[in-house]
A = this chain, B = another copy of it.
């Protein structure tokens, strides 16, 4: 019934989801797919630099990234900014705001961003009728928590060089897992200012740190992005576990 209206506002049907066929995502049952399709209210696009979610606002929507990059951040009253994590295809955003009312962080698009929009209202039904999907949402929340743990360890205890290497390496691995830049060279659409705000460093010191990595031939900066040349050595410098990505749900 409302199916047509929905069709009108979306260009990608769930049946032909460009993400779901990726090996990283677990298989969904027919009934689950059907529900997700009905759960999806429409699509939202955001240009580079646009705010998708804003700290302090009451946005009742839930989103899954279909394509593009973005980042989650918080700010202090005086303007200091801390990037909490990056989002890329397959990631769920807005859960905190949906569950607890007010957004406690913002999300901004790093590149043109395409989002599937889900409505809060149907979340109850999801929990009632599709425990598997409910479990998936919890799973995704736990995964986000895990990434935050790792970032906190990084900012709190790693040196500037280690932090930088860790950030670049982990973003690269996440990107690969969702099929971005499969053709060899991996390009991260980030600026050094973003990196600085992620690592808890100043812009200048970030630049000097990145320069070290570049001088060693591990990365290269070109037109608004970071090109990764030697993922293995970056991982070594970060000396982190990097547990291999297992199958995960895609809501």
Which residues of A are interface residues toward B (Cβ below 8 A)? 72, 74, 76-77, 80-82, 84, 95-96, 99-102, 104-105, 124, 127-128, 131-132, 134-135, 137-139, 141-146, 148-153, 155-158, 197-200, 239, 243, 246
| B145 A96 Cβ-Cβ under 8 A | yes
Q: Is the CB of B148 within 8 A of A138?
A: no
Given contact pairs A156-B155, A243-B102, A150 touches B74 in the complex (Cβ within 8 A): yes
Q: DSSP majority for the A interface?
A: helix
Residues of the B chain whose Cβ atoms lie less than 8 Å from the Cβ of A141: 138, 141-142, 145
Is B148 touching A149 in the complex (CB atoms < 8 A)?
Answer: yes
Copies of the protein in its oligomer: 2
Contacts of A149 in B (CB 8 A): 72, 74, 84, 104-105, 148
> A100 and B142: CB pair below 8 A?
yes
Q: Which partner residue on chain B sits nearest A137 by CB separation?
A: B138
Inter-chain contact A156/B105, CB cutoff 8 Å: no
Known contacts A135-B127, A149-B105; is A156 also within 8 Å of B200 by CB? Answer: yes
Of residues A95, A101, A142, which shows the largest number of chain B Cβ atoms within 10 Å of its Cβ? A142
For the complex, what is the distance from the CA of A124 to the CA of B135, rounded to whole Å? 8
Q: CA–CA, A45 to B18, complex, Å?
A: 49
A74 surroundings in chain B (CB, below 8 A): 149-150, 152-153
Shortest beta-carbon distance from A146 to chain B in Å: 5
Given A128-B131, A131-B131, A138-B134, check contact A100 B155 (CB 8 Å).
no
- Chain B: minimal CB distance from A55 (Å): 9
In the complex the two chains form, what is the Cα distance from A142 to B142 in whole Å?
A: 8
